[in-house]
A and B are shown apart, each in its own frame.
Chain A
């Protein structure tokens, strides 16, 4: 076999394209909009944030959640995704003082978070789809007890069986 005469190999790392979902400020902006449009007292637990963040990830997810909500929670709704990226974004948001942790488990929008929201809201074109989806979901639709019952169902179907 012929031998390859290579003395040195070097690799340069090229920057890779990254989906917007993995950009910190993008995710923080979504958190701010979720808390403001779709949460009572601008406060939410972690699972609900995950649910809505998952829904916003694609048209398909949005349609699914919307169908579930408009069918008055009667239709089938399976599992939603839990993504570590959201947790990281939440850590950043808390460190930025954009939201606060209250009662040790819930996230609440701060004054600075509200200011950020106003900036996002002022730009009509920015996140128009997300804004209208979250407004449609509204503050009183997905309550804590709803989340609990959804996760219970989920336990029943996917864990115990």
Chain B
């Protein structure tokens, strides 16, 4: 727990040393001071000592009252200028430390904090060594040696949870974000739940704070889900790599990959994945292709090598056929080649168009966003109404003489999206056409080269000595042998890749099962107990404090942000939840805030969660709350005898009110007489 043991203010003025010192005990502490005595200065000094002054709406000394930084008024009407001022705060968890932080000082920056390892204020040893640390500057929450808030979270035994920032990165929750759950400030703290939560670019900060305060497991489960999706990402990357390897292999063999999808999926029949080769205008698998080649080779090897002479007639005929083939091939090649150029040019144009449309779309989406932001601002232009004369205007900057009606931005966006999709389809189709033509062209090229070689060889043989053995046949045999070897090697590689694919598919299957097994909502049984206790506590307190604005059964605690909401049933059976603030009278909303923070505290005490076991309220008696209700509130708070509650209140500046509100309650009283900052003799 975080216990505030004592606070001391030291203010050196032009008229000597001023200051104040107060001690606090366990249980309910009431700090009573009439208006303008400096009650809030004392409250704010506690926050300042802890480095939580962001709850007051700023950082460092500028959040503090005049009496602590500019001039002290004592007695009324007489002013003394401040030369230097310090806050000392003695706090306890398992150990006791004292914090010293300067407000005004020539020699020290307000970010500097001294930490003394002991009770500097209430103890006898005034000669403790100190450790300098700093708050708010970069590293204040993370620097191991000098970061005061890192020190404070270790002091409290808090391991702060990681949350996702708006940029999608992970970052630890800050202490000053958790503080609004147990410190409620007077000026804006009573306007809404967690109203003083300082802004950091993080998502759903309130929910993360409540999850941390109540130590809910839901956070762990969400993290697990993120972990799984990261794993999935990895599998997808591996899959893509494998897919590329398969394709490369297919290309090397001059075939096409069939049956494998680009995105990771579970594979049931491995046989469906193969490399298709073209033979005699028909597709066959790589394995079959190689088998046929092997057979051809076997046939050739069995034959006797013939001599040149016996082949003359055959060769002459072959030469004629080969020349015809060559002509046909060259013609095909020359026809296809300009076609391909034309297709490439077309693709370029499509790509340019896509860029233009995408840019336009990006801008339009931006326009749509700022329009809704403008609606929130509010700006009348965003609602198509003239800010000067409040007449309806068109959502366009074209001169008003142009009588065209512009599309609504939403329609414009979908119009562009449709265009974008269409162009993307064109591009995909075009790319496919180009790929196929390129492949065909390549085949023509190799075939051309092969035919030319054959023609050369045939011609060579025709002019050779008739008694020599036929080189042509020997060469054909050798070529075929080489090819068979090459394809056998490729088939081996292919089998290996298939093995890898099998493992990956198995991994994916496991992952998907794990994902399915994640609970759909992430609450554990313990979480539900805590939330039920929060709800019961909240409702019981509302009743006790005499809340009347809504029937109690319409009030729920939201499972998203853990704040109380009012529920309304719509005609279609759906339920609409909205902030309780909108349906509660002003004083009833104060009752909600009392009940919520107290119920949160109560549940935390019962379940021994991360709550610092400290509650600080600055002037909780708001909105002319009846003294009787205020008494119920104080009596509720006085039951936390093991924990610490600090209530700063003025009791309408009246002794009678004070007596009425506190009669019969167990509490410690600190009275601020006359002025908080007084001369110290």
Cβ A25 vs Cβ B379 within 8 A: yes
Q: Which segment, of B369-377, B551-559, B663-671, faces chain A?
A: B369-377
Q: Which of A85, A95, A98 is the one whose CB lies under 8 Å from B398?
A: A85
Q: Does B489 contact A (CB under 8 A)?
A: no
- Known interface pairs A16-B404, A124-B166; A22-B397 also in contact (CB < 8 Å): yes
Residues from chain A with a CB closer than 8 A to the CB of B397 are 21-24, 27, 85, 88-89
Residues from chain B with a CB closer than 8 A to the CB of A21 are 363, 397
**Contact-residue bracket for chain B:** 35 or more
Q: What residue in chain A is nearest B370 (Cβ atoms)?
A: A29
Q: Does B167 contact A (CB under 8 A)?
A: yes
Q: Does A18 contact B (CB under 8 A)?
A: yes
Cβ A25 vs Cβ B380 within 8 A: no
Q: Does B77 contact A (CB under 8 A)?
A: no
Q: What residue in chain A is nearest B398 (Cβ atoms)?
A: A22
Q: Does B360 contact A (CB under 8 A)?
A: yes
Q: Which of A16, A17, A25, A88 is the one whose CB lies under 8 Å from B371?
A: A25
Q: What residue in chain B is nearest A56 (Cβ atoms)?
A: B363
B388–chain A nearest beta-carbon distance, Å: 4
Cβ B406 vs Cβ A13 within 8 A: no
Q: Does B207 contact A (CB under 8 A)?
A: no
Cβ A15 vs Cβ B369 within 8 A: no
Cβ A28 vs Cβ B370 within 8 A: yes
Q: Does A26 contact B (CB under 8 A)?
A: yes
Cβ A23 vs Cβ B409 within 8 A: yes
Q: What residue in chain B is nearest A13 (Cβ atoms)?
A: B405
Tally of A interface residues using CB under 8 Å: 39
Q: What residue in chain A is nearest B361 (Cβ atoms)?
A: A20
B134–chain A nearest beta-carbon distance, Å: 27
Most buried by A among B366, B370, B406: B370
Q: What residue in chain A is nearest B371 (Cβ atoms)?
A: A25
A39–chain B nearest beta-carbon distance, Å: 19
A54–chain B nearest beta-carbon distance, Å: 15
Cβ A13 vs Cβ B381 within 8 A: no
Q: Does A153 contact B (CB under 8 A)?
A: no
Cβ B405 vs Cβ A98 within 8 A: no
Q: Does A126 contact B (CB under 8 A)?
A: yes
What does DSSP make chain A's interface, helix, strand, loop or mixed? helix
Q: Does A142 contact B (CB under 8 A)?
A: no
| Cα of A13 to Cα of B366 in the assembled complex, Å | 27
| Cα of A66 to Cα of B28 in the assembled complex, Å | 64
Residues from chain B with a CB closer than 8 A to the CB of A19 are 360, 363
Most buried by B among A20, A22, A119: A20
Residues from chain A with a CB closer than 8 A to the CB of B387 are 92, 95-97
Cβ B360 vs Cβ A96 within 8 A: no
| Cα of A20 to Cα of B396 in the assembled complex, Å | 9
Cβ A25 vs Cβ B370 within 8 A: yes
Cβ A25 vs Cβ B382 within 8 A: yes
Q: Which of A17, A84, A116 is the one whose CB lies under 8 Å from B377?
A: A116
Most buried by B among A26, A84, A85, A112: A26
Q: Does A123 contact B (CB under 8 A)?
A: yes
Q: Which of B366, B370, B415 is the one whose CB lies under 8 Å from A17?
A: B415
Q: Does B532 contact A (CB under 8 A)?
A: no
Q: Does B421 contact A (CB under 8 A)?
A: no
Q: Which of B360, B364, B373, B415 is the one whose CB lies under 8 Å from A120?
A: B373
Residues from chain B with a CB closer than 8 A to the CB of A27 are 397
| Cα of A29 to Cα of B372 in the assembled complex, Å | 12
Residues from chain B with a CB closer than 8 A to the CB of A28 are 370, 374, 379, 381
B364–chain A nearest beta-carbon distance, Å: 5
Q: Does B512 contact A (CB under 8 A)?
A: no
Q: Does A127 contact B (CB under 8 A)?
A: yes
Q: What residue in chain B is nearest A29 (Cβ atoms)?
A: B370
- Known interface pairs A26-B367, A28-B370, A85-B398; A16-B405 also in contact (CB < 8 Å): yes
Residues from chain A with a CB closer than 8 A to the CB of B398 are 18, 22, 85
Cβ A25 vs Cβ B405 within 8 A: no
Q: Does B201 contact A (CB under 8 A)?
A: yes
Residues from chain A with a CB closer than 8 A to the CB of B360 are 19-20
| Cα of A95 to Cα of B395 in the assembled complex, Å | 16
Most buried by A among B167, B407, B411: B407
Cβ B201 vs Cβ A92 within 8 A: no
- Tell me the residues in window 611-625 of chain B with beta carbons closer than 8 Å to chain A beta carbons: none
A101–chain B nearest beta-carbon distance, Å: 14
Cβ B370 vs Cβ A15 within 8 A: no
Q: Does A72 contact B (CB under 8 A)?
A: no
B288–chain A nearest beta-carbon distance, Å: 52
- Known interface pairs A25-B379, A98-B379; A126-B371 also in contact (CB < 8 Å): no
Q: What residue in chain B is nearest A57 (Cβ atoms)?
A: B363
Q: Which of A18, A58, A96, A98 is the one whose CB lies under 8 Å from B407?
A: A18
- Known interface pairs A15-B406, A116-B374; A20-B364 also in contact (CB < 8 Å): yes
Q: What residue in chain B is nearest A26 (Cβ atoms)?
A: B367
Cβ A26 vs Cβ B407 within 8 A: no
Cβ A15 vs Cβ B374 within 8 A: no
Residues from chain A with a CB closer than 8 A to the CB of B362 are 129
Q: Which of A15, A24, A59, A112 is the one whose CB lies under 8 Å from B405?
A: A15
| Cα of A127 to Cα of B403 in the assembled complex, Å | 30
Cβ A26 vs Cβ B363 within 8 A: yes
Cβ B167 vs Cβ A25 within 8 A: no
Cβ B369 vs Cβ A126 within 8 A: yes
- Tell me the residues in window 100-117 of chain A with beta carbons closer than 8 Å to chain B beta carbons: 112, 115-116
Q: Which of A22, A95, A124 is the one whose CB lies under 8 Å from B386?
A: A95
Cβ A17 vs Cβ B367 within 8 A: no
Residues from chain A with a CB closer than 8 A to the CB of B370 are 25-26, 28-29, 120, 126
A53–chain B nearest beta-carbon distance, Å: 11
A131–chain B nearest beta-carbon distance, Å: 11
Residues from chain B with a CB closer than 8 A to the CB of A124 are 166-167, 201
Residues from chain A with a CB closer than 8 A to the CB of B379 are 25, 28, 96, 98, 116
Q: Does B359 contact A (CB under 8 A)?
A: yes
Q: Does A122 contact B (CB under 8 A)?
A: yes
- Tell me the residues in window 14-56 of chain A with beta carbons closer than 8 Å to chain B beta carbons: 15-29
Residues from chain B with a CB closer than 8 A to the CB of A17 are 406-407, 411-412, 415-416
Cβ B386 vs Cβ A29 within 8 A: no
20 pairs, CB–CB < 8 Å, chain A vs chain B? A13-B403, A15-B407, A17-B406, A19-B363, A23-B364, A23-B367, A23-B397, A24-B395, A25-B367, A25-B373, A25-B374, A26-B367, A27-B397, A29-B367, A29-B374, A88-B399, A95-B386, A96-B381, A116-B374, A120-B373
- Which residues of B come within 8 Å of A, CB atoms? 166-167, 201, 359-360, 362-364, 366-367, 369-371, 373-374, 376-377, 379-382, 386-388, 395-399, 403-409, 411-412, 415-416
* Given pairs A26-B371, A96-B379, 19 additional interface contacts (CB within 8 A): A13-B403, A13-B405, A17-B406, A17-B411, A18-B395, A18-B396, A20-B409, A23-B409, A25-B381, A25-B382, A27-B397, A29-B374, A84-B399, A95-B386, A116-B379, A123-B373, A124-B201, A126-B369, A130-B366
- Which residues of A come within 8 Å of B, CB atoms? 13, 15-29, 58-59, 84-85, 88-89, 92, 95-98, 112, 115-116, 119-120, 122-124, 126-127, 129-130
Q: Which 3 A-B pairs have the closest CB atoms?
A: A20-B363, A26-B367, A95-B387
